[in-house]
Amino acid sequence: MAHLIDLRLKKIAVVLAAAIFFQVDLLAEPLAFITNQLDNNVSVINTSTRKVLKNIPVEGKPVGVAVNNLKHQVYISTPDGAGFAVLDSKKLVPLTTVKTSNGALGIAVDRTGERVFVADWYENQIAIFGTENLQLIKTIVVGKSPSGMVVSHDNQWLYVANRVSDSVSLINLDNLKVRRTIDVGTHPFGITVNSAGTKLYTANVESDDVSVVDISDLRQPQTVSIPVKSRPYAVSLAQNDTRLFVTNQDDGTVSVIDTLSLKEIAVIEVGEKPEGISTHPDDRQIYVANWFDGTVSVIDGKELKVIATIPVADGSRGFGEFFTH
């Protein structure tokens, strides 16, 4: 009898251990954090199962997303909350909120996980906070209505799309000063940079194009415009930086640009009003947040087709780099 009980206990222990391992394994997969502005929450998607693990409440009409993989935190800009929320990316719970201003929109984190940057739409400035104590380090004046931001892969530069000024500010992250400002298309919103740090890409909402800025020589930056579809919103690179994916809000599509030929090579139908876009760490899957549908479309960046649609919540925006890795 005692032998049978012992065997049963061992079986239970094995099952529990397997369940715990399975849960840890699930959370070890890259997660996508999608802001749902109308529902005041953030959907956490497990990219292995392509299902929502949890909706985390975040008040203040959440918009922007920045993932700090080194400190296992996610920063969510909240325009109506006048700041940003901090989430725990492992426990999937809110940690705290930080006040900045009523115009908090774009948000980014540096490559060392030490600083978080918040674009202030109304004050025309970038607020910089230390991630250790979440205290304000400095504010930097940029162009009008700063929106999208991206940090260079070598952690030397912060690039800011100034929507109303039709420009991009280049901030040196060593001295925290604006090095120069470069004109782009009309009303740039989303922005990204290639891994070599030689090309910037902005989605220009009002001119229906993408600006490609060669910044390999800052003394003479060169800009090329590529027409896309109606009201491009955000951009993301994939396939070793050879393809640029652009969300077109009014067309319900994503344009694909070959970054070598600088030509639009495909237009992919997604959900209605696509906005935020980010590339999975595998460099092949591209996730697109569809505002009107409350869904996320998953694109195969090699085959150039939608391979899954994931229901999330109302007003999905996912503006920023929203994957853990």
Q: For position 6, what pLDDT does the model report? A: 54
Q: For position 90, what pLDDT does the model report? A: 97
CA distances to 3, 18, 21, 75 from 8, in Å = 9, 15, 20, 45
Mean pLDDT of 171-182: 98
- Chain-centroid distance of CA 232 in Å reads 15
Torsion of CA 52, 119, 121, 233, to 10 degrees: -50
CA atoms of 262 and 259, how far apart (whole Å): 5
Please give the residue that has the higher pLDDT: either 127 or 18.
Answer: 127
Mean pLDDT of 137-157: 98
Write out the two tokens for 128: 């910089």
Q: For position 20, what pLDDT does the model report? A: 43
Each residue's pLDDT tens digit, 257-273: 999 999 999 999 999 99
Look at residue 242 and tell me whether its pLDDT is greater than 70: yes
pTM score of the predicted model: 0.91
Each residue's pLDDT tens digit, 201-213: 999 999 999 999 9
Write out the two tokens for 287: 């996730």
Q: For position 19, what pLDDT does the model report? A: 44
With cut-offs at 50, 70 and 90, classify the pLDDT of residue 101. Answer: confident
With cut-offs at 50, 70 and 90, classify the pLDDT of residue 102. Answer: confident
Least trusted range by pLDDT, from 23-27, 102-106, 249-253, 285-289: 23-27
Average pLDDT, the chain: 93
Look at residue 218 and tell me whether its pLDDT is greater than 80: yes
Q: Which fold has domain 2-321?
A: Methylamine Dehydrogenase; Chain H (2.130.10)
The SS3 of residue 17 is helix
Q: For position 21, what pLDDT does the model report? A: 42
CA atoms of 235 and 246, how far apart (whole Å): 5
The SS3 of residue 31 is strand
C-beta of residue 146 within 8 angstroms of C-beta of residue 154: no
Residues pairing with 31 in the sheet: 46
106: CB partners within 8 A, 6+ apart = 64, 77, 118, 119, 146, 147, 148, 149, 160, 161, 319, 320
With cut-offs at 50, 70 and 90, classify the pLDDT of residue 8. Answer: low
CA atoms of 157 and 153, how far apart (whole Å): 8
With cut-offs at 50, 70 and 90, classify the pLDDT of residue 29. Answer: confident
With cut-offs at 50, 70 and 90, classify the pLDDT of residue 1. Answer: very low
Q: For position 123, what pLDDT does the model report? A: 93
CA atoms of 293 and 168, how far apart (whole Å): 31
Judged on CB neighbours under 10 Å (0-12, 13-18, 19+), 100 is buried
Write out the two tokens for 189: 């919103």
- In the chain, the N- to C-terminal Cα span, in Å, equals 49
Q: For position 271, what pLDDT does the model report? A: 98
